[in-house]
Structure 1
Amino acid sequence: MKTKLATVLPIMVLLGACYPKGPDYVEDADVVATSYDVKYDFKAKSTFAMPDKIVVDVSIDRGDTTYEYMLPAFATPILGAIQSDMEKYGWQRVDIDEDPDVVLTPAGISSTTYFYSYWYDWWYYGWGWYYPPYYTVSSYTTGTLIMVLSDPSQAANSPIRRSPAVWTAAGNGLLTGYYDVSRATDAIHQAFAQSPYLKTN
C-alpha cells in the first residue's frame, strides 16, 4: 500500500492543481494521468488477475481492517471496461491462485478541494469611507479512479516485500455530479489509449 501511495500521490497533486479556482462544470475535472516503468517488459507477460470489487475506503480499528466497496451498479461496468481493454491489448484474465503475471488493482477515492477569494468595495461608515474585504469560500468534491498494475514476482526484490507498480493510471473527476458511470468508463478507455506499451500482441 505504501508503494502504491508513493506512486499515486504525485499524480493526485498534479490532478488537483489543474483547476486552482474550481471547475465551471463537473466534466472540467475529468483528467487522466498514466505512468509506467520504462524498463518493464510488458510484451513478455500475458495473464492478469483483478478483484471483483473496487475498494473506496479502508478503516483500521485496533488492528482490524475493514474495507468499504463501491456499489455494484457502478463497480460492475467499471470492472467490465477494465477487463475489456486489457483483453483488447492481448491479456488473458485468470484467477489470483493461477499465478498471474501481473495483478491489476482498481480503487476509488474522493477528495474535496477548497478555494478562497476576496474582493473589496467602498463603504461609508461613520467617520469616512473605507473598503472592507469580503471573503468567500467554495469547494468541489471529485472522485478519482486509480488502477495499479503490479508484478507479484518482483516482491522478492523489494526491501519491504511488496510488488512495485509497473503501471499506474488515475482518472480524476469520475465520481462527481450525477454519478454518470460512462465518464468513468471513458476515462478507463483513455488511460489504455495513452498506454500502448501495455499491448502484448
Structure 2
Amino acid sequence: MKKLLLLTCMTLTLASCEKDPDLGQLDTNMVVYTDHDSETDFSKYQTYFLPDSILEAGSHHATYWKDENAQKLIKAVESEMNSRGYRRITDPEQKSEADLGVQLSYIAQRVNVTSGWWGGWWDYDYWGPWWGGWYYPYTVSYSYDTNSLVMEMVDLTGNKKEDSQLPVVWYAHSSGYQYNANYNIQLMTEAIDQAFEQSPYIQSNK
C-alpha cells in the first residue's frame, strides 16, 4: 500500500520515518495525508455522488455545514473529480446508482482515529438500505488537531446484499491551525487541490 505525506510549507524538513509533523512548526498551510486501497482500479469508475453539505463531526452527533463556504469546498472537489473524467450525480434519489460516493467531513477538535473507524458519522443506509456499514481495506491510525478536513471515497459498485460493507477506497486528511473563516477556506481549498495532486491514480478511463 502506498502512503504519501506532502507539505505545502516548503521550509519544513521531515525525517523519512516521521508520519505526522509537529503542527507547532507550521505557521501556515495544512498537512495533507492521503491513502488508498492499492487493489482498487479507479479507472473503472465513471460516476460519483457528492452531497451538497459537509459533515461537521462532533463528540456525539454530526451536524451539516451547507453555507456558501461549504459550497466552495464542495465545488473544489467537484472540479477535481470532473477533471479526472468522472461525472457527478446530483440527485439524492439517484445516489445509489453512482459508482463512487464522496464524503467531506470537517472537525474542529482533537480526535484520535484508529483502525479506520469513524464512530458512525454516516448512517448505515446513507448510500442505500442494503449496506450494513463500511470498512477500510487498510489500517488508519492518526490524530489531528484543531482544524481538519477529511475526504473519503467509497465504492458503491459492490454486491448490494443486506448488511454488505462499503469499502473506503481512498481518503485524504488535511490538518492545520484555525484562522479567520476566509483564510481557513483558502487553506482547505488548497489542501483539496494538494490531495488530488498526490493521488494521480484517481482517473477515470471513460
TM-score in same-fold range (> 0.5): yes
Tell me what 2:164 maps to.
161
Q: CA deviation at 1:111?
A: 2.4
Residues 15 and 172, structure 1, Cα contact 8 Å, conserved in 2: no
Per-residue Cα deviation, 1:5-50 (whole angstroms, up to 9, x for no partner): xxxxxxxxx9994117x2352x15x100111111111111100001
Q: How does 1:161-200 map to 2 (within 5 A)?
A: 161-173=164-176, 176-179=178-181, 180=183, 181-200=185-204
Q: CA deviation at 1:190?
A: 0.5
Q: CA deviation at 1:112?
A: 4.0
Higher normalized helix content (fraction of residues): 1
Residues 155 and 164, structure 1, Cα contact 8 Å, conserved in 2: no
Q: Distance in 2 between matches of 1:46 and 1:69?
A: 27
Tell me what 1:97 maps to.
93
Q: How does 1:1-201 map to 2 (within 5 A)?
A: 17-19=20-22, 22-23=24-25, 25=27, 27=28, 30-58=30-58, 67-70=62-65, 72-94=67-89, 95-98=91-94, 99-112=97-110, 142-154=146-158, 156=160, 161-173=164-176, 176-179=178-181, 180=183, 181-201=185-205
The runs of at least 4 aligned residues of structure 1 exceeding 6 Å deviation read none
Larger-Rg structure: 1
Tell me what 2:118 maps to.
none
Determine helix, strand or coil for the equivalent of 1:148: strand
Per-residue Cα deviation, 1:135-164 (whole angstroms, up to 9, x for no partner): xxxxx9521111100012336589x62211
Q: CA deviation at 1:74?
A: 1.9
Q: Distance in 1 between matches of 2:190 and 2:199?
A: 14
Q: CA deviation at 1:58?
A: 4.7
**Number of residue equivalences:** 152
Q: CA deviation at 1:57?
A: 2.5
Determine helix, strand or coil for the equivalent of 1:162: strand
Determine helix, strand or coil for the equivalent of 2:33: strand
Q: Which amino acid aligns with 1:72?
A: D
Q: CA deviation at 1:177?
A: 1.2
Q: Distance in 2 between matches of 1:155 and 1:96?
A: 21
Question: Which stretches in structure 1 are left out of the alignment for 5+ residues?
Answer: 1-13, 61-65, 114-139
Q: Which amino acid aligns with 1:191?
A: A
Question: Which stretches in structure 2 are left out of the alignment for 5+ residues?
Answer: 1-16, 112-143
- Compute the TM-score of the two structures, normalised by the length of structure 2: 0.64
Q: Which amino acid aligns with 2:44?
A: A
Determine helix, strand or coil for the equivalent of 2:166: coil
Change (3 A) 1:149 1:142: same
Q: RMSD in angstroms over aligned alpha carbons?
A: 2.9
Q: CA deviation at 1:59?
A: 6.3
Over the matched positions of the two proteins, sequence identity in percent amounts to 28
Q: Distance in 2 between matches of 1:109 and 1:24?
A: 19
